[in-house]
Amino acid sequence: MDAADALRQLPSVDEVARSLSGRCPGYPRKLVAGEIRRVLERRRELVRRGLAPTGDVSSEVLQTLERLDTASLRPVINATGVVLHTNLGRAPLGPGMSLEGYSNLEYNLELGKRGKRDTHLDGLLERVLGAPGIAVNNNAAAVFLALHELAAGYEVIVSRGELIEIGDGFRIPDIMQRSGAILREVGTTNRTHPDDYRAAINERTRLLLRVHPSNFRVTGFTARPSPADLAALGREHGIPVYEDLGSGCLVDLRPFGIDEPVAGDSLAAGIDLVSFSGDKLLGGPQAGIVAGRADLVQRLRRNPMFRALRIDKLITHSLAATLRALLFERWDEIPALRLIRQDAAAIRTRAEALLPRLEGCTARLVEGESVIGGGATPEQAIPTWLIEIDARSASAAEAKLRAGDPPVIARIADDRILIDLRTVFAGEEEALAAALRSACSR
């Protein structure tokens, strides 16, 4: 059959609509007709490419409509042991993070008139960080806003070793260029000294920038100025010093094997302005926090771009809840911190209790490592215990886990499924056990 004949044999929109009569009640006729046209056009394109369409047109349309009517953003069970899994939403959110109905987002209940949304966060940020702060929609936005307000049209001095890419192709030099700031590179990839900054300062310098390499490490013959060194140089020349910390660690996690700079320590060392993510080691929703000298923060707050980059009521509510838990040291109310703080012995106990519920699976416990992930703490791992499962085909079993309800995301190594309960919540264990039994069945 040639292409012309194949195209003529495709049904019309009306024919498909009649065949669907009664099979998709409640769907608007306009939507159904539009999806029929989309499916038919896909089939015409296949014919034009010399391929033969397969399957029933009506069934394909119905499947498409059902997919549209089902939320694509779904809860998943993260059994990978990656705490801040970038593809799984980074920091997991806890209960009480949603906000239904109306709210006093920009309404002053005491005065009975319009208020500012900043009031829900500024007191918490100042107490947690020891300095005033504001929030925007992510840390890239925070960097852009700071550079745009403080250095547009002027030079920003930064070490060559800190010109990082923060993910998905976004790079510090590109953000600087878009902000209007002029990049002035100093030092080398592995070694930069305070005198490199000092020699580059001129009448057009408006900012000294320090970028924490949160997603990589340079080791060996290295050197970079400390926050205190740069802060002293900035004061000497009357130039603000800004540090982009990226991973947003507000709590000392070294007792749990995570060595990341704490934002409050940089401010205490004299850094004028810091920024970091809300959905990494802070443990909250996606946001970018900028904090530091009151006059600089106020300048950023008044920049017209602040309104374009500001957060909405849902982020405000969940970020405030996270900051409140940090302030009152209720660590277990922040899921990411609770997961990080679990010790390996506790995870082993949970895994041993789960093993008898995995009927039909060939499973055993092995020592392993969890990681923080999310572009934070590279080359730092946390000891854990893994459930290792033999499967006739690990890739097929992993695909079956992903296709379940709820989907389970696991690791594969040496053709075995690996399950790390560090990132599995207690309330998910029964669903996880059922999913594993199904994946192991023939």
What CA–CA distance (Å, rounded) separates 299 from 292? 11
pLDDT band at residue 189 using 50, 70 and 90 as cut-offs: confident
Residue percentage of the chain with pLDDT more than 90 = 76
Q: Can 77-89+338-440 and 118-336 be said to share one CATH topology?
A: no
DSSP 139-190: HHHHHHHHHHHHHTTSEEEEEGGG--EEETTEEHHHHHHHHT-EEEEES-SS
SS3 258: coil
pLDDT band at residue 2 using 50, 70 and 90 as cut-offs: confident
pLDDT band at residue 58 using 50, 70 and 90 as cut-offs: very high
What tokens appear for 422 in the block? 């560090």
Question: Nearest-CA neighbor of 87 among 383, 341, 428, 423?
Answer: 423
What's the pLDDT at 214?
64
Q: Tens digits of per-residue pLDDT, 108-136?
A: 999 999 999 999 999 999 999 999 999 99
Domain spans of the chain, in order of start: 3-68, 77-89+338-440, 118-336
What's the pLDDT at 168?
63
pLDDT band at residue 376 using 50, 70 and 90 as cut-offs: low
**382 φ, ψ (degrees, to nearest 5):** -120, 130
What's the pLDDT at 5?
82
Residues 6+ apart with CB under 8 A from 191: 161, 221, 222, 223, 224
pLDDT band at residue 427 using 50, 70 and 90 as cut-offs: very high
Q: Are 436 and 416 in contact (CB under 8 A)?
A: no
Q: Tens digits of per-residue pLDDT, 213-271?
A: 866 667 778 889 999 999 999 999 999 999 999 888 998 888 887 888 899 999 999 99
Kindly state the helix (H) or strand (E) to which residue 417 belongs, with its residue range. strand 416-420
Protein fold of 118-336:
Aspartate Aminotransferase; domain 2 (3.40.640)
Kindly state the helix (H) or strand (E) to which residue 91 belongs, with its residue range. none
What's the pLDDT at 378?
66
What CA–CA distance (Å, rounded) separates 398 from 390? 11
Beta strand 362-373 with 376-390 is antiparallel
Burial environment of residue 259 by CB neighbours within 10 A (0 to 12, 13 to 18, 19 or more)? exposed
What's the pLDDT at 373?
86
Average pLDDT over residues 264-293: 96
Q: Are 276 and 246 in contact (CB under 8 A)?
A: yes
Q: Are 419 and 432 in contact (CB under 8 A)?
A: yes
Give just the sign of the alpha carbon dihedral 17, 23, 26, 32. negative
Helix axes 29-48, 57-68, angle to 10 degrees: 120
The distance of Cα 151 from the centroid of its chain, to the nearest Å, equals: 28
The stretches of 201-293 forming alpha helices (DSSP H) are 227-237, 263-268
What's the pLDDT at 335?
95
Supply the CATH classification number for the domain 77-89+338-440: 3.90.1150.110
What's the pLDDT at 359?
93
What's the pLDDT at 215?
63
Q: Tens digits of per-residue pLDDT, 378-393?
A: 667 899 999 999 988 9
- Within 10 Å of residue 191's Cβ, how many Cβ atoms? 15
Residue percentage of the chain with pLDDT more than 70 = 96
DSSP 271-340: -SEEEEESSSTT-SSS-EEEEE-HHHHHHHHHSHHHHHHB--HHHHHHHHHHHHHHHTT-GGGSHHHHHH
What's the pLDDT at 177?
86
